[in-house]
């Protein structure tokens, strides 16, 4: 690694200083042009700390045209300019600054700041993108009143949108149009947005609980208007839900959502003007899966809920990101739970924690939900900050109960509406509203890593007493060696006893025990219902006991989870034996029963009938025996398909006819049917007709795609013909083509390398478009472990080349893609050296971005 590279600086939470200046108002004028946009920023600034004379504004990738201080044009001697900042000495306590900058939105392929893609101007300012628009105090604790004037050619860009209320629209003498917007709420600059382009629009009205009318407006690509109606209805449901559950109402007259094709993330909560990745707005039964519909509703909810948890109360600094993200994910999960199958929703959320988040804790990028140091903030929009952050909020909810939690929320808004605050302020509000000491609980914010909770049982037959001994221990992580015990809310139930309802035990120390008097020897504790704390659970339950929980527990999550434990146990035995492990009769009986008599929750039934994915198993090993896991999975699936052939077919036929619309019952039915299809496809005798029929007759994308996936996994010879047909049929729809790209890239055959090369030449593929890149390479690295982890290193080399190529275009996306290379220490020695070499190749590249460098250098440290 070069010396220059090693000296790249970190920013630290401990170095936080309040701002010395405030920007009372920010008036922006944009003269929009793809290659030459001029931005005029008129700032009214006030000095807060009289001892400070230097004003340092951040700015990147800007061409400075002029600066006026209190109306006087400054010369270059009056300020200092470098590639990161503009600094000037100021004598006054109040003054105006007018800064003119020139931007080239079309050349901005990083998609941060103002960019131009697909004939649309769009901004993305979180986390630190506003400094790519003008020189500014680009930090979330500087709140300003924003107004903005957008000037552009009305033929090409009939819609000129920004935050707040539209206060003026007129045509200029040169033929351009000016639209002026004013946002009445002070906000940090990361919530600023502008969009200019031509769209299909879809509008509606919403009556708030207090009787105000809000205009809802969706702006989507021409010709796609009808695909936004589900998102629009989801928005109304989210608005109603937030009023009913949290007592929170929307606060502006207008709520706009713009869907764009080029976007680095899922969506962005800019005040009154959300910008969405089109993937999370545009759905129809023919072109989107049930999972896509689910994502649209949950992300629409997420961005809407940010209006209170994020916008009205925002973060003091970026280390506090989980203040808004953990809380908002918790809120969107609760919303989704109320909209669909509660149990399956919880299962999905837990899968994210157990696979991605536990993996992050075990990786060189391990960090607490409130990180303490960062090089590039964009690297910290992580599953830890978001999803583990939501688990921490969920634990508070479990500890305080719904009423106590809501009291805490009310106090939080009462104290902090309009402010930029810390995670501590949030916990303090919860504490004060409930008169509970949450000191020990706060450790969740500063400690990284996954606690291991072990449970041991002993039964005293004479006393008829059962004792549970609990122990918690958090192994060291890359960022922190010492760990302390955490507060763990543990929900449990005792099967086969009178006290069969769910109870809560709050564990606060390293060891604890629970005793149950007067119980039978057969009483069976079900621990960690609903995954009440984000821990790895260790126990010594037998298969028979686990299968009993899977059948008898009243908590749906616990039933599924018991089965997960079984699968892990069986897989470990298969790996240890190095040969086929025969699945127990009890499992076949259990599945037979489920297939003939599914539970009322069909989606849960489908989950129970699933062999866990590679990623779920892999997370439990170090080193990860890649090939043995893959072999065992294939063998398990083969055993199930053959032993239960008749039952899969019976259930498949029972569930075959489904109504296309996205509705809980239909979704469950499709999930179950397609699970059956997955196993049927492994049977040579019947797969042809069943697969072909389902593919041809599908009335939803869910069913069509399920047929293709089953055909691929089952090695169906007609698969390629079906893929060709699918590719042709969906040429016109890039969001569907992404699914096709992904399927190609998850081909478990070595031919995948040639296919990926061909995909990158496809006329709909573009390195500039994050959705296209992710469709191919996310599928390759995450859904194709066999080829990605090849022992000849070809998979790693492909990813490394891709990261290098992409880093020059879009560092944020490149840095997300690099993640699978980081955990090199978790593999066997051969793969370790291949991965290490790949990381070194990246670290040594001149000009590698901070985004990629931060991750790679941590991995090599
Ligand atoms: N705040 C958004 C996520 C987001 C974060 C960063 C972005 O660009 C770097 C874009 C979006 C959310 O939580 O939805
Ligand atoms: Zn968010």
ipTM: 0.99
Ligand 1 atom at shortest distance from the alpha carbon of 381 = 5
Q: How far does the centroid of ligand 1 lie from the alpha carbon of residue 381, in Å? A: 7
Q: Hunting for tokens 């104290």 — which residue is that?
A: 415
- 287, 291, 293, 295 alpha-carbon torsion, rounded to 10°: -130
Q: Whole-angstrom Cα distance, residue 770 to residue 772?
A: 5
The CB of 641 under 6 Å from ligand 1? The reply is no
The CB of 124 under 6 Å from ligand 1? The reply is yes
- Residue 422: the pLDDT is 99
- Residue 498: the pLDDT is 79
DSSP 8-state symbol, 165: E
Which of 127, 193, 267, 849 should be mutated for ligand 1, with most atoms under 8 A from CB? 267
The CB of 529 under 6 Å from ligand 1? The reply is no
- Residue 164: the pLDDT is 98
**Cβ count within 10 A of residue 542:** 10
Q: Hunting for tokens 């009939």 — which residue is that?
A: 158
- Residue 771: the pLDDT is 98
The CB of 810 under 6 Å from ligand 1? The reply is no
Q: How far does the centroid of ligand 2 lie from the alpha carbon of residue 329, in Å? A: 7
Q: What is the chain's length?
A: 861
**Does pTM top 0.95 for this prediction?**
yes
The CB of 378 under 6 Å from ligand 1? The reply is yes
Q: How confident is the model at residue 6 (pLDDT cuts 50, 70, 90)?
A: low
Which of 122, 265, 850 should be mutated for ligand 1, with most atoms under 8 A from CB? 265
DSSP 8-state symbol, 74: P
Residue 144 has pLDDT above 50, yes or no: yes
Could you read off the pLDDT of 350-382 as tens digits, one per residue?
999 999 999 999 999 999 999 999 999 999 999
Mean pLDDT for all residues in the chain: 97
Question: Which among 122, 135, 119, 115 has a CA at the least distance from the CA of 41?
Answer: 135
Using CB atoms within 10 A of its CB, is residue 76 exposed (0-12), middle (13-18) or buried (19+)? exposed
Which of 60, 264, 268 should be mutated for ligand 1, with most atoms under 8 A from CB? 268
- Residue 684: the pLDDT is 84
Give the pLDDT mean for 595-621.
98
Tokens of 525: 């504790």
Cα torsion angle, 404, 410, 415, 416, sign:
positive
Residues 6+ apart with CB under 8 A from 439: none
Judge whether 168 counts as a catalytic residue.
no
The CB of 381 under 6 Å from ligand 1? The reply is yes
Q: How confident is the model at residue 457 (pLDDT cuts 50, 70, 90)?
A: very high
Could you read off the pLDDT of 538-589 as tens digits, one per residue?
999 999 999 999 999 999 999 999 999 999 999 999 999 999 999 999 999 9
Element spanning 392, H or E: helix 389-416
Tokens of 373: 């140091």
Among 303, 360, 376, 391, the active-site one is: 303
Ligand 1 atom at shortest distance from the alpha carbon of 299 = 14
Our measurement of the distance from residue 286's CA atom to the centroid of its chain's CA atoms, rounded to an integer in Å, reads: 25
- Residue 853: the pLDDT is 98
* CA nearest ligand 1 atom 8, residue: 126
Could you read off the pLDDT of 255-295 as tens digits, one per residue?
999 999 999 999 999 999 999 999 999 999 999 999 999 99
- Residue 3: the pLDDT is 45
Could you read off the pLDDT of 406-446 as tens digits, one per residue?
999 999 999 999 999 999 999 999 999 999 999 999 999 99
Tokens of 639: 């055993």
Q: 3-class secondary structure for 8-53?
A: CCCEEHHHCCCCCEEEEEEEEEEECCCCCEEEEEEEEEEECCCCCC
- Give the HSE-up count for residue 408: Cα atoms under 13 Å, Cβ half-sphere: 25
- What value, to the nearest 5°, has the Cα angle with vertex 25 and ends 22 and 31? 125
Q: Whole-angstrom Cα distance, residue 236 to residue 240?
A: 6
**Cβ count within 10 A of residue 642:** 12
Residue 44 has pLDDT above 50, yes or no: yes
Q: How confident is the model at residue 685 (pLDDT cuts 50, 70, 90)?
A: confident
Could you read off the pLDDT of 734-756 as tens digits, one per residue?
999 999 999 999 999 999 999 99
* CA nearest ligand 1 atom 3, residue: 268
- Residue 688: the pLDDT is 80
Q: Whole-angstrom Cα distance, residue 549 to residue 810?
A: 48
Tokens of 813: 């996306």
């Amino acid at each position: 690694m070069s010396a220059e590279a090693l000296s790249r600086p970190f920013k630290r939470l401990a170095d936080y200083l309040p701002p010395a200046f405030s920007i009372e108002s920010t008036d922006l004028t944009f003269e929009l042009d793809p290659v030459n946009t001029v931005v005029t920023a008129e700032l009214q600034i006030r000095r807060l700390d009289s001892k400070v004379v230097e004003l340092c504004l951040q700015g990147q990738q800007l061409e400075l045209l002029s600066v006026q201080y209190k109306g006087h044009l400054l010369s270059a001697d009056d300020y200092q300019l470098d590639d990161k900042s503009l600094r000037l000495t100021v004598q006054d306590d109040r003054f105006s600054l007018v800064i003119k900058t020139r931007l080239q939105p079309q050349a901005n392929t990083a998609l941060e700041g103002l960019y131009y893609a697909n004939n649309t101007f769009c901004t993305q300012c979180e986390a630190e993108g506003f400094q790519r628009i003008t020189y500014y105090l680009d930090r979330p604790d500087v709140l300003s009143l924003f107004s903005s004037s957008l000037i552009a050619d009305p033929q090409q860009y009939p819609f000129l949108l920004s935050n707040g209320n539209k206060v003026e629209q007129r045509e200029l003498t040169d033929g351009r149009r000016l639209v002026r917007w004013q946002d009445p709420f002070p906000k940090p600059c990361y919530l600023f947005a502008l969009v200019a382009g031509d769209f299909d629009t879809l509008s509606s009205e919403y009556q708030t609980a207090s009787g105000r009318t809000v205009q809802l407006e969706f702006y989507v690509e021409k010709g796609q208007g009808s695909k936004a109606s589900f998102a629009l209805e989801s928005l109304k449901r989210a608005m109603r839900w937030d009023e009913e559950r949290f007592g929170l109402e929307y606060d502006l007259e207008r709520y706009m959502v713009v869907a764009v094709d080029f976007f680095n993330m899922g969506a962005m909560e800019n005040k009154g003007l959300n910008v969405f990745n089109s993937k999370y707005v545009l759905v129809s039964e023919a072109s989107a899966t049930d999972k896509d519909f689910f994502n649209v509703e949950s992300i629409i909810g997420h961005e809407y809920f940010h209006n209170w948890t994020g916008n009205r109360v925002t973060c003091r600094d970026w280390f506090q990101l989980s203040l808004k993200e953990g809380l908002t994910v918790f809120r969107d999960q609760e919303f989704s739970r109320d909209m669909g199958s509660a149990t399956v929703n919880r299962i999905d959320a837990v899968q994210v924690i157990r696979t991605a988040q536990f993996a992050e804790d075990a990786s060189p990028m391990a960090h607490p939900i409130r990180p303490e140091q960062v090089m590039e903030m964009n690297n910290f929009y992580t599953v830890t900050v978001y999803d583990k952050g939501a688990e921490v909020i969920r634990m508070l909810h479990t500890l305080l109960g719904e009423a106590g939690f809501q009291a805490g929320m009310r106090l939080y808004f009462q104290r902090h509406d309009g402010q930029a605050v810390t995670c501590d302020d949030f916990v303090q509000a919860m504490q004060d509203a409930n008169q509970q000491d949450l000191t020990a609980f706060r450790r969740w914010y500063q400690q990284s890593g996954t606690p291991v909770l072990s449970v041991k049982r002993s039964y005293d037959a004479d006393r008829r007493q059962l004792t549970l001994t609990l122990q918690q221990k958090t192994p060291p992580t890359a960022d922190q060696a010492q760990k302390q015990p955490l507060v763990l809310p543990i929900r449990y139930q005792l099967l086969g006893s009178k006290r069969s309802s769910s109870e809560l035990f709050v564990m606060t120390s390293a060891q604890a025990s629970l005793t149950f008097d007067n119980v039978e020897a057969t009483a069976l504790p079900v621990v960690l219902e609903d995954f009440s704390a984000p821990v790895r659970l260790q126990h010594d339950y037998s298969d028979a006991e686990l299968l009993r929980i899977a059948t008898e527990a009243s908590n749906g999550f616990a039933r599924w989870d018991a089965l997960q434990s079984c699968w892990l146990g069986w897989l470990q035995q298969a790996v240890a034996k190095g040969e086929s492990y025969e699945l127990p009769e009890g499992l076949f009986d259990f599945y037979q029963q489920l297939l003939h008599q599914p539970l009322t929750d069909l989606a849960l039934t489908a989950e129970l009938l699933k062999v866990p994915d590679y990623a779920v198993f892999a997370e439990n090993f170090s080193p990860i025996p890649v090939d043995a896991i893959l072999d065992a999975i294939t063998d398990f699936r083969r055993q199930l398909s053959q032993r239960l052939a008749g039952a899969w077919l019976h259930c498949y036929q029972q569930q075959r006819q489904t109504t296309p619309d996205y509705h809980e019952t239909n979704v469950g039915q499709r999930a179950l049917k397609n699970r059956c299809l997955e196993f049927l496809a492994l049977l040579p005798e019947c797969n042809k007709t069943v697969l072909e029929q389902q593919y041809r007759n599908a009335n939803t994308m869910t069913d069509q795609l399920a047929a293709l996936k089953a055909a691929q996994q089952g090695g169906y010879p007609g698969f390629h013909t079906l893929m060709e047909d699918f590719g042709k049929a969906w040429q016109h729809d890039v969001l569907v083509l992404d699914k096709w790209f992904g399927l190609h890239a998850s081909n478990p055959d070595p031919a995948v390398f040639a296919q990926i090369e061909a995909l990158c030449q496809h006329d709909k593929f573009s390195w500039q478009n994050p959705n296209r890149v992710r469709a191919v390479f996310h599928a390759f690295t995450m859904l194709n472990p066999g080829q990605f982890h090849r022992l000849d290193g070809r998979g790693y080399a492909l990813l490394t080349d891709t990261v290098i190529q992409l880093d020059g275009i879009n560092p944020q996306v490149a840095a997300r893609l690099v993640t699978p290379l980081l955990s090199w220490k978790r593999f066997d020695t051969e793969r370790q050296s291949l991965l290490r070499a790949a990381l070194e190749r990246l670290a040594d590249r001149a000009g590698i971005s901070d985004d990629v460098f931060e991750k790679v250098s941590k991995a090599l440290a």
